[in-house]
Amino acid sequence: MFEKVLIANRGEIAVRVVRACRSLGVRTVAVHSDADARALHVRLADEAVRLGPPPSKDSYLRQDRILEAAAETGAEAIHPGYGFLSENADFARAVRDAGLKWIGPSPEAMEKMGDKVNARANAVAAGVPVAPGTKALRDAEEAAEQAAEIGYPVMLKASAGGGGIGMRIVRSAKDIKAEFESATRQAESAFGVPDVFMEKFIQRPRHIEVQVLGDEHGNVVHLYERECSVQRRHQKLVEEAPSPGLSQEEREAIGLKAVALAKHVGYSNAGTLEFLYEDGFFYFNEMNTRLQVEHPVTELVTGIDLVQWQIRVAAGQKLTFVQDDIKLRGHAFECRINAEDPFDDFRPSPGPVRRLRLPRGEGVRTDAGLYEGWTVPAVYDSMVLKLITTAPDRERDLARMQEALRGLELEGLTTNQTFHEALFAEPHFRAGDLSTRFLEEHDVLRPLRQSTDEAARRRAAALVAALKDRPGGGLAGVHLAQHLPARVRRSAGARDWRDA
């Protein structure tokens, strides 16, 4: 086992890795930007090294500084978490070339599966079903030809993409040229690679992903699937395991397909294969060659600590279990609590944490990177904590998550907690009737929005009444209104608070 691991990340995932290392008796090195000098992962780690100014390009993406930090502190391995450099094969190779261990798949496996076109080719070779599609397209003319052959609607995707960036749905021939050019520009800007390919657009699929885990001795298992269909602009909001939409036969079949593909590319460590599922058919979508945000739900229903096993595998240990040993135990949900205002188009709302009370109790887990007095920076991802629950079955887990959401107290910044509360009360969600279009088809915030708007109107009227007879009251109202949420100002029914 390693003696010291450097964690090349921040926030809740860095905290999660610190705790996994501690449970294995491994010392940790945190790295941080100036914005994170007082962050929780810095406070918990055994050592900490400054990387640079707040922007990621000057800190968490500085490969040279991270390698220098590992050398300065005597770290033997680097855990990349997720995001930032976690799927950068060049960095993984640089870590290896520096004589350190990369806690993740080999750079060769990452290259085989990180590029979506290569991943499709490997899936086909391993006998894993894919949607009808193409290789990287040369130009808009080829895109038009291929779209006509596949049949509209089609989906354009960035070959090196992720998180929905560079994706375009094209529904007719008249739009293909403009959408192709837009997708290539965005791919070039986001990933430095303009390559775009095309797939048949699956109209109302479930997003099903299979967790795999392999060691460096050729052993690979799957840890069953997660349902990640509730998304906004291709960003996941809620995950659960197992999926309420699969039969046991389908569950086992897609798990074996995932293992076959992982073995085909020589994959070790943790990884996730994503599929689109519709009308009984699975289509391979992509592989995430890293730990996923939603890994806790898999841990809770299998009893296997994925982060500990990432570290153990990287240290050369063999898996101590085989596929038949892995059994599903109950159900688990995860809610991503983001610093966003769901009533203002989910606009990011970072700020100070004035009060924090995390829910406790049987079957409740929180993975967080914040504490009272900490100010959530505006320069990074908006997720501030993950609320995870488990229960013997989905129905009881729905109730447990609702109770946990009610018990979460996070004041000082606006979060999407109210969205999750509304979602877990929504009848279609409770019934498990899910697809990636769920939030397009169901306005889960509508009941809350109506009641909130009415309450805001009452508060606005009371404010105006209280101020109108005071000297300078109108001006005071304008000043106070500037500090109210936009949704409250809008719901007052006035274009301008001077009018009110």
Measuring CA to CA, how many Å separate 158 from each of 182, 244, 296, 315? 11, 30, 28, 34
Q: What are phi and psi of 162, to 5 degrees?
A: -175, 160
User: Which 8-state DSSP code applies to residue 81?
Assistant: -
- Per DSSP bridges, beta strands 101-102 and 235-236 are unpaired
- 255 contacts: CB under 8 Å, gap ≥ 6: 210, 222, 224, 225
Distance (Å, whole) CA 333 – CA 339: 19
Contact 251, 279 (CB under 8 A): no
Distance (Å, whole) CA 161 – CA 198: 13
Distance (Å, whole) CA 175 – CA 463: 50
Distance (Å, whole) CA 415 – CA 464: 28
Distance (Å, whole) CA 218 – CA 494: 66
Set 120, 290, 336, 489: catalytic member: 290
Q: What are phi and psi of 51, to 5 degrees?
A: -100, -40
- 458 contacts: CB under 8 Å, gap ≥ 6: none
Residue whose entry in the numeric block shows the structure tokens 């924090």: 356
Contact 8, 54 (CB under 8 A): no
Q: Has 290 been annotated as catalytic? A: yes
Q: What are phi and psi of 371, to 5 degrees?
A: -155, 165
Contact 500, 473 (CB under 8 A): no
CA nearest 146: which of 132, 166, 159? 132
SS3 content of the chain, % helix, strand, coil (to 5): 40, 25, 35
Contact 72, 47 (CB under 8 A): no
Residue whose entry in the numeric block shows the structure tokens 């719901």: 491
- 118 contacts: CB under 8 Å, gap ≥ 6: 111, 112
What number of other Cβ atoms are within 10 A of residue 163's Cβ? Answer: 12
User: Which 8-state DSSP code applies to residue 198?
Assistant: E
Q: Is the dihedral of CA 59, 64, 70, 72 positive or negative?
A: negative
Segment (H or E) for 224: strand 220-227
CA nearest 24: which of 248, 307, 235, 238? 307
Where in the sequence numbering do the catalytic residues fall? 290
